[in-house]
Amino acid sequence: MKPRRVRAQQGIALLEALIAVVILALGLLGTIGLQARSYSALADSAMRAEATLATDRLVGIMHNDVANLATYQVALGATAPAALAPWAAETSTAIPGARYRVAVAAEPQRTRVDIEIRWRRKQGDDDRTHLVTAYIR
């Protein structure tokens, strides 16, 4: 009977273990990347929800002050007029770096109000925009 060559099989278990570690590492890196993207999406949705609440508050304020709707108008990036100052301060607190635009246009039997809020999640990103159009009678 011939003796078996055991030496030819040495190191195979170590190679299998190294391959398993590489596959596990790739899976963990994928999971970390997925978590980072989900965090980014969560932050965006939180800012969008804040923008929705802010526009809803402003429409309510304007609806209760129909006689002075034109005083709420402001261009993007301009200083808020006195009628809009409390809302602007609250919105800037809720949405850091927020810029807003309020356009008021009189139409027959109603007034159209466009409220736009812009923000950047982080430096170098494109602006995120939330635009609401409301009609006030």
Q: Give the mean pLDDT of the chain.
A: 89
Q: Per residue, what are the HEC states of the chain? A: CCCCCCHHHCCHHHHHHHHHHHHHHHHHHHHHHHHHHHHHHHHHHHHHHHHHHHHHHHHHHHHCCHHHHHHHCECCCCCCCCCCHHHHHHHHHHCCCCEEEEEEEEECCEEEEEEEEEECCCCCCCCEEEEEEEEEC
In a domain, 5, yes or no: no
Residue 1: pLDDT over 80: no
Q: What percent of the chain clears pLDDT 90, i.e. is strictly above it? A: 57
Mean pLDDT in residue range 71-75: 92
pLDDT at 43: 82
- Which domain, by its residues, includes 48? 12-136
In a domain, 4, yes or no: no
**pTM for the whole structure:** 0.72
In a domain, 54, yes or no: yes
In a domain, 81, yes or no: yes
Number of domains in the chain: 1
Tens digits of residue pLDDT in 92-128: 999 988 999 999 999 889 999 999 999 988 777 888 9
